[in-house]
Amino acid sequence: MKLTTQRRSAARALLELIDTDLNIVAAGLLQDMALVQSNERSRFGYKRAAKIIAAVIDRSVRDLIDEGTLREVPFLGASTERIVKELVREGESPSVEKALAAYGKRSDIETRRRFRRAYLSRHTMRRALDARLGAVVVSTKRFQGDLQMHSTWSDGVESIAALAAAAEALGWSRIGITDHSYGLPIARGMSMEAAGRQGIEIDEVNETFAGRVRVYKGVEANILADGSLDLDEDERQVFEYVIASPHSLLRRDTDQTARMVGAVRQRGVAILGHPQGRMYNSRPGITADWRMVFREAACHGVAVEIDGNWHRQDVDYELAAVALEEGCLFALDSDAHSIGELAFTDYSIAHGRIAGVPADSVVNCWEAEKFENWLRDRHRRRKA
């Protein structure tokens, strides 16, 4: 009871923090400006400024405006400064409104705005990580390692040994390598023959890193239109765990609840990866009755992923709160394709904290034996 109250008040404090995320609002205004530019160069300029403010700088734009130092940030020019200053001082930007009115196609703009819902700026992500929420809520301290990353075996740029070394440097004790399955040739998905050779390489890396980092053999399988996977049950058994993720039909507005429910029922699936398949400012991802999907995931002990890739942030803190209500487990992953991207786990953890997710519900935080038993049970498909 006490814990619940504590968690609630912590979550309230964090929601307030989001309400004051001027960096993400400013980035949105700059994206609006990019949309209405008629020449490629200024479109690029606004998009770059938006990205820097949303995902690169640590400090709040309010502080930079108050100090008069915004223009010292590389690539932030006079028009960006004007827009951000208006936002900070007036709570809105008359110059953006004027440009949008001249452009006319309001519905285009509204559509794009819907594709930017519940994302965190880097500034607010850091504040969410630093906020004092007590020991119950997931934190970087409790986090033992990332369970979705891609190596040179599919579309990543690092070897497995390099990823293990990077994980050790980050203070992690485990990682899961989850290269794409053969059903996704565009991402150089692995054949099952390659998966066998990869398994041998992982065994070797585990010998090298014994007692320091344990590398798990995962795979990221594709959820097909009917909710089945591109890997059959025997193929899934080759891996210690399967992340099932949607990589197609991500721009439809028809309901895909049955597809997602079907996916979490599949044997061997431990994690539902980037469930919506959304992308910042570019696509909405899947429409579904998420409460129903999460209820099914909870019933089968499948963890809902909070994918921290900046452009994904999927699920976000709003949907994570729904999954938490339904009793779900969570996997907080980077979806890294390079060593630098392992830091995307910070966004996953931040969304989890804002949603009030306890560390005990996050499989990345479990000690090894509990984690491995859970993986084995997903193959046996015992109900949770």
The contact set with Zn ion (CB under 5 A) reads 245
Amino acid at 34: A
Residue number of the CB closest to Zn ion reads 245
Q: How far is the CB of 238 from Zn ion (least distance, A)?
A: 19
- The SS3 of residue 111 is helix
Residue 144: C-alpha distances to residues 138, 167, 203 (Å)? 11, 9, 20
Q: How far is the CB of 243 from Zn ion (least distance, A)?
A: 8
220: β partners: 180, 243
Q: What is the maximum alpha-carbon separation in the chain?
A: 64
**Residue whose CB is less far from Zn ion, 244 or 298:** 244
Contact 312, 116 (CB under 8 A): no
**Residue whose CB is less far from Zn ion, 47 or 278:** 278
Q: How far is the CB of 285 from Zn ion (least distance, A)?
A: 12
Q: How far is the CB of 305 from Zn ion (least distance, A)?
A: 9
∠ CA(267), CA(273), CA(279), 5° rounding?
150
Q: How far is the CB of 307 from Zn ion (least distance, A)?
A: 8
**Residue whose CB is less far from Zn ion, 49 or 190:** 190
Sign of CA dihedral 279, 49, 85, 62: positive
Cα–Cα distance for residue pair 290/261, rounded to 1 Å? 9
Burial of 319-334, coded b for 16+ CB within 10 Å and e otherwise, reads: bbbbbbebebbbbbbb
**Residue whose CB is less far from Zn ion, 235 or 305:** 305
Q: How far is the CB of 271 from Zn ion (least distance, A)?
A: 11
Contact 363, 333 (CB under 8 A): no
**Residue whose CB is less far from Zn ion, 124 or 245:** 245
Cα–Cα distance for residue pair 350/343, rounded to 1 Å? 12
Amino acid at 323: A
Q: How far is CA 136 from the centre of its chain?
A: 21
Per the structure block, which two tokens stand in for 177? Answer: 């390598």
Cα–Cα distance for residue pair 295/276, rounded to 1 Å? 16
- Whether the bond between 315 and the residue before it is cis, its omega within 30 degrees of 0, is yes
**Residue whose CB is less far from Zn ion, 160 or 223:** 223
| Beta strand segments in 137-182, E | 174-177
Tell me whether residue 151 is exposed, middle or buried, using C-beta atoms within 10 angstroms of its C-beta: 0 to 12, 13 to 18, 19 or more: buried
Q: How far is the CB of 26 from Zn ion (least distance, A)?
A: 29
**Residue whose CB is less far from Zn ion, 87 or 187:** 187
Q: How far is the CB of 344 from Zn ion (least distance, A)?
A: 13
Q: How far is the CB of 309 from Zn ion (least distance, A)?
A: 9
**Residue whose CB is less far from Zn ion, 133 or 279:** 279
